[in-house]
Structure 1
């Protein structure tokens, strides 16, 4: 079996981490199956893949629909006798459909990694209901529920949780947060990992800091955010400055192995307005860092409120603030949350489980015995 994995994004995020983990797991567990990744050339994903032993190819992607990218799909499939195409995000799906019109490609499997509703537009519905798509792998039950509204053949939909790779775990970092940023040892670090995109709603994250530092007059906390900057970053920094929070909020930027920093966080805070299930959740569960999060996407499928962590309504910075005060003053509760969530992770949310389930889908689509 030869599987071609498609990603047409130009940054590094949870979706690309999923592709990398899936291919690593399949390479180790089923070396007879060849996996090749097609990514955009000269991007963080490309540079990261260069440091691995995974099979990959690249194509230019200077515009959203770059002919050099979708022509590469068709030519590679014909030359290398690809059996199945696993498409990992919407832009790559569109490119695969264009390539299929020219080359009559093998069947598709598509991964739905967010809980964004599929827009009820004719072109969008055509894309997601394209006949070559044999299965749609949803990152959570909530993502599956949302997708059902737009997918005609609902039997194509199923949930496979992504999980975390237990074999690559480390706490090694190029620097220690408290040393690099001169953070006093008794400060409580509230950490977040996520690229500066609309879904992460870091505006709420700043609102929480404003509540704690300015309104509650509590300076025991430092807020550390790790993730790739974007066109939204300037506005976020301006908001921090307008609230006089520069001494309490640190934007680290992109870090190649960002999850290694989680063990330096006292609490992981997620303020997203849309998610599938963020990788940051799984990594925090592994590193035994307690989680406080908004109730979006499939997050509560991993973190049940008051059992594995604390949950608040989306945009509700006041409740998130209360949760931070509650958890920071209750070390025993932190231990209970992290012990239970770590056990749940090992049972349900590993990339080993994810790879086995995904491979079974490949075999089903290709009618392998």
Structure 2
């Protein structure tokens, strides 16, 4: 059985966390996998609850490289076949680990690494620069969309070192949620049967909530019988709330903050929206799909693989709030089409994006890498 050590920061709460947990389930009985993280947080606790093999190699600070020798001992003494990193912190550590091990080292590209720290000048200056340098040290790359593979190739990475693995979702996981009315009452939403449109994304510039709010304004000018829910927190919060006040639509848009109970949110809304400037293959589309909620999204990353116009939702170009508004109004006026899109996207996700299909593809990638020979330096 192939033995793989996964490295991840441990502070992850979004798509990377879901990716890892789903992948571990998909790889069960195929791969002997262990996770090492560098922060003890909810990621670690949830991994333990799921029965995953996980250990913390604690870092005092991001620059603490004492973990490198500990990792090399773990890898060399326990006969791992592959080291698999996820995210900027793990990539940085692997830059120093590379010379101490003799197994293939791979990393998953979960996002556009040039945009990960876009909202913070100093982090962007330092962490993005370090991550760019670290990425060059890896033997192989796994991208969560074909779009990201093309991105790496344009940036000089070798095509024969890049594999594609679309995100999958645990289709066997019990989807628990509270009733719609209970959820709306919990967040003090004044609901009187309106269409509910929601967006679940951290409040930062890459997620581009300004386009969402502009679309809200345009939509409400035509039809006031719609409410908009924003789930997430972040640095853009104050600016976005001020924007809704300037448009005088603050009674129609609800800022809910971070919602841990994601399925209750998706159960409450009728339409899911993404307005991101850059995306990979976001889990919020698949999570909404399990509740038969279709998505209207920007045409970016791997999203066009799952969102097809008039089949599973609608796509619009980045910043085109007028087209987003047009699609919201279209679905408001055609509830049969709305229900049909919801059925279609749920069936697509269950058939093509399960944890099993994800695990099978990852296993194939591991085999291809190992069959290609041991650690070849770039």
TM-score normalised by the chain length of structure 1: 0.87
Q: CA deviation at 1:188?
A: 1.4
**Structure 1 CA distance for aligned equivalents of residues 96 and 185 of structure 2:** 51
Q: CA deviation at 1:37?
A: 1.5
Say if 2:357 is the partner of 1:353. yes
Corresponding pairs, count: 359
TM-score normalised by the chain length of structure 2: 0.85
1:123/1:3 Cα in 2 relative to 1: closer, same or farther (>3 Å)?
A: same
Say if 2:303 is the partner of 1:305. no
**Structure 2 CA distance for aligned equivalents of residues 141 and 60 of structure 1:** 34
Tell me if structure 1 keeps the 8 A contact 2:189–2:254: no
- Partner secondary structure for residue 99 of structure 1: helix
| 1:225-251 deviation line (CA, Å, top 9, x unaligned) | 223x23333333333344344322223
Tell me if structure 2 keeps the 8 A contact 1:116–1:146: no
Tell me if structure 2 keeps the 8 A contact 1:40–1:60: yes
Alignment correspondent of 2:300:
296
Match of 2:103 among 106, 121, 132: 106
Tell me if structure 1 keeps the 8 A contact 2:11–2:41: yes
1:105/1:230 Cα in 2 relative to 1: closer, same or farther (>3 Å)?
A: farther
**Structure 2 CA distance for aligned equivalents of residues 312 and 145 of structure 1:** 21
Tell me if structure 1 keeps the 8 A contact 2:203–2:209: yes
Q: CA deviation at 1:217?
A: 5.8
Alignment correspondent of 2:51:
53
**Structure 2 CA distance for aligned equivalents of residues 122 and 253 of structure 1:** 31
**Gaps spanning 5+ residues in structure 2: where?**
116-123, 373-378
Tell me if structure 2 keeps the 8 A contact 1:211–1:318: yes
Q: CA deviation at 1:339?
A: 2.6
Alignment correspondent of 2:34:
36
**Structure 2 CA distance for aligned equivalents of residues 187 and 91 of structure 1:** 44
| 1:145-180 deviation line (CA, Å, top 9, x unaligned) | 111112442111122111211011414249832221
Say if 2:146 is the partner of 1:148. no
1:318/1:72 Cα in 2 relative to 1: closer, same or farther (>3 Å)?
A: farther
**Structure 2 CA distance for aligned equivalents of residues 342 and 241 of structure 1:** 36
Tell me if structure 2 keeps the 8 A contact 1:117–1:146: no
1:74/1:343 Cα in 2 relative to 1: closer, same or farther (>3 Å)?
A: same
* Aligned-pair Cα RMSD in Å: 2.7
Tell me if structure 1 keeps the 8 A contact 2:92–2:130: no
Tell me if structure 2 keeps the 8 A contact 1:59–1:68: no
Say if 2:339 is the partner of 1:335. yes
| 1:38-88 deviation line (CA, Å, top 9, x unaligned) | 223233323332432111112345644332444443343234333211112
| 1:249-287 deviation line (CA, Å, top 9, x unaligned) | 223233334134312210001111100111111122222
Tell me if structure 2 keeps the 8 A contact 1:74–1:100: no
**Structure 2 CA distance for aligned equivalents of residues 59 and 253 of structure 1:** 31
1:66/1:189 Cα in 2 relative to 1: closer, same or farther (>3 Å)?
A: farther
Q: CA deviation at 1:313?
A: 0.9
Q: CA deviation at 1:186?
A: 0.4
- Partner secondary structure for residue 256 of structure 1: coil
Q: CA deviation at 1:318?
A: 1.3
Q: Within 5 Å, which residues of 2 pair with 1:248-327?
A: 248-327=252-331
Q: Which has the larger displacement, 328-337 or 177-186?
A: 177-186
Tell me if structure 2 keeps the 8 A contact 1:129–1:151: no
Say if 2:84 is the partner of 1:86. yes
Q: Which has the larger displacement, 84-93 or 291-300?
A: 84-93
Q: Which has the larger displacement, 293-302 or 47-56?
A: 47-56
